Structure 1
Amino acid sequence: MTAPASSAPPLPDPAPYQGAPERHPRRPRHPLDTATDPEAVELTAPVFGPADVDALDADLTRQHSGEPLGERLTVTGRVLDRAGRPVRGQLVEIWQANASGRYAHRRDRNPAPLDPHFTGVGRCLTDGDGRYAFTTVKPGAYPLPGAGAWRPAHIHFSFFGTALTQRLVTQMYFPGDPLLPYDPVLAAVPDPAARRRLIAAYDHQLSLAGGALGYRWDVVLGGPAATWAEEGRR
């Protein structure tokens, strides 16, 4: 039996995303003199602990005096190494647009309205099983200025190791989004399997248990099944 043809066009050839060069460092790297100062590397590492990250940081719907607009979501998953072992105590950060597709950032020129009760940033530490969890609202799509394209709903993720140089940055997408085939950022990922690993899975049991639509998205740090990370952000 022949599978029915998809109505969505195929992803375009994975040419480099034109916005990437603007986000790369322009200055040369600054070497650290570890021979004379062995602790120099440690001074550049993130300084945080369990007392610095609380439950409110992971719930983006309770960070202000009022309720933010938008569809409530629970996003959870595990951070694993290349051997499938949990990565414990990992600092996970997210940032995203609000339900209208606008970031709470002075450089966002999208005319969509801001939400005074939603800043769009959160963080948490992975637990003993390498699990993270966030409560948020579904981000809206927004147009790319001058590109003739729209970004689908997505959440930016940052994963820290034990030093700033171990940071990985990537994006998580939502299943069934009609804008996925047209997204130039997703199309810049050359491997189709890697693109699919950036899309979360809807979890109905999680939705029933948490009072918000549930999505699961595991992240693998390294190896052939690694989650794609943005070039220049390692």
Structure 2
Amino acid sequence: MQDDNKRFVARDRNWHPPAYAPGYKTSVARSPQQALVSMQKPSVSELSGPDFRALRMGPHDNDLLLNFRQDQSQGQGLPQGERIIMFGRVVDQFGKPVPHTLVEMWQANAGGRYRHKNDNYLAPLDPNFGGVGRCLTDDQGWYRFRTIKPGPYPWPNDMNSWRPSHIHVSVMGPSISTRLITQMYFEGDPLIPLCPIVNTLKDPDAVETMIGRLDLARSNPMDCLAYRFDLVVRGELQTFFENQ
């Protein structure tokens, strides 16, 4: 464990947005009112596990086209919208793959609405789309989901704020201390530079870590486009922590 402590790299808080960002209005009430407490040395529990290799996964946990469909007959009950593949690799800050770690994702449907009781956006729910998925990375740290490209949606930050299309992602990494919660945006989306949440970031390179790139080589012809979204779970080049 001593060697692991030497390799632990604390995240660079100067790269992340401030907790208090008035342009992102809900951050005002959520921001801490007192100074943060610095943990100088991670504990053993923070640097270990959990081990997900024994986690039982369903046959369609990573396939959002199938895991909520109501009509199981051939060719029926599929979600509406643009079919896509989301894939990538989970690595640590030294480029080492993180195998057998849990990757979870959740998203709005093609109309921009979440399957959540508090989402009252006027877009309809899709009866065949649940909007959640999970998988374990393989031996080389790769993960893969099949889903529907989510739609943008308005939110009450100001009179005309819209969230870019995005997919929320949670990945544990090699230990509890490296858990990452972030979002994948889509390459070329014109709403990205207009989003108040994105604009809390001052470093364009940080924004780039949250953009999924079109990868035609991994697309399924006549079926799905593919977007690659790699995740770095700790260190200088880590993917941005949107919730921190």
Which residue identity is paired with 1:70? G
**Correspondence 1:59-138 to 2 at 5 A:** 59-63=63-67, 64-65=69-70, 66-138=77-149
In the alignment, structure 1 segments of 5+ residues that lack a partner are 1-12, 27-38
In the TM superposition, structure 1's runs of 4+ consecutive aligned residues that sit over 3 Å from their partners are 20-26, 45-51, 161-166
**Does 1:189 pair with 2:182?**
no
CA contact (8 A) 1:88 1:126 kept: yes
- How far did 1:208 drift? 3.6
- Please give the alpha-carbon distance, in whole angstroms, between the structure 2 residues aligned to 1:208 and 1:68: 17
SS in 2 for 1:77: strand
* 2:98–2:174 contact (8 Å) kept in structure 1: no
The worse-fitting range, judged by mean Cα deviation, of 209-218 and 150-159 is: 209-218
1:151 aligns with 2:133: no
The count of corresponding residues between Structure 1 and Structure 2 is 206
User: Alpha-carbon deviations, 1:110-134, whole Å to 9, x = none?
Assistant: 1111111101000000001100000
Deviations 1:40-97 (A, max 9, x none): x69xx76854451234100000012221111000010000111101001110000000
1:128 to 1:47, Cα distance in 2 relative to 1, 3 A? closer
Deviation at 1:187, TM superposition (A): 1.1
**Aligned equivalent of 1:160, options 161, 166, 172:** 172
SS in 1 for 2:187: coil
* Bigger mean CA deviation after superposition, 86-95 or 153-162: 153-162
Question: 1:193-232 to 2 correspondence within 5 Å?
Answer: 193-208=205-220, 211-232=223-244
Q: Give the TM-score, by structure 1 length.
A: 0.79
Distance in 1 of aligned mates of 2:120 and 2:62: 27
Alpha-carbon separation, structure 2, partners of 1:108 and 1:46? 32
Task: Kindly state the Cα deviation for residue 181 of structure 1 after the two structures are TM-superposed.
Answer: 1.4
Taking only aligned residues, the RMSD between alpha carbons, in angstroms, comes to: 2.8
The one-letter code of the counterpart of 1:156 is H
Percent of paired sites with the same residue: 46
Deviation of 1:225 (Å): 1.1
Q: Distance in 2 between matches of 1:84 and 1:55?
A: 30
Partner Cα distance (1:218, 1:103) in 2: 24
- Post-superposition Cα deviations, 1:116-155, rounded to whole Å, max 9, x if no partner, equal 1101000000001100000000000000125221001000
| CA–CA separation in structure 2 for the residues paired with 1:219 and 1:154 | 15
Shift of 1:24: 7.1
Distance in 2 (alpha carbons) for counterparts of 1:52 and 1:23 = 35
Indicate the residue corresponding to 2:4 in structure 1.
Answer: none
Correspondence for 2:26: 19
Q: For residues 7-64 of structure 1, what are the alpha-carbon distances to aligned partners after superposition, in whole Å with 9 as ceiling and x for unaligned?
A: xxxxxx98823223566799xxxxxxxxxxxx9x69xx76854451234100000012
**Stretches of structure 2 lacking an aligned partner (at least 5 in a row):** 1-16, 34-43, 71-76
Change in CA separation of 1:201 and 1:146 when aligned onto 2, cut-off 3 Å: closer
Q: Contact conserved, 2:25 with 2:157, CA < 8 A, in 1? A: no
**8 Å contact 1:76–1:216 — kept in the other structure?**
yes
Work out the CA distance in 2 between the residues paired with 1:81 and 1:46.
Answer: 16
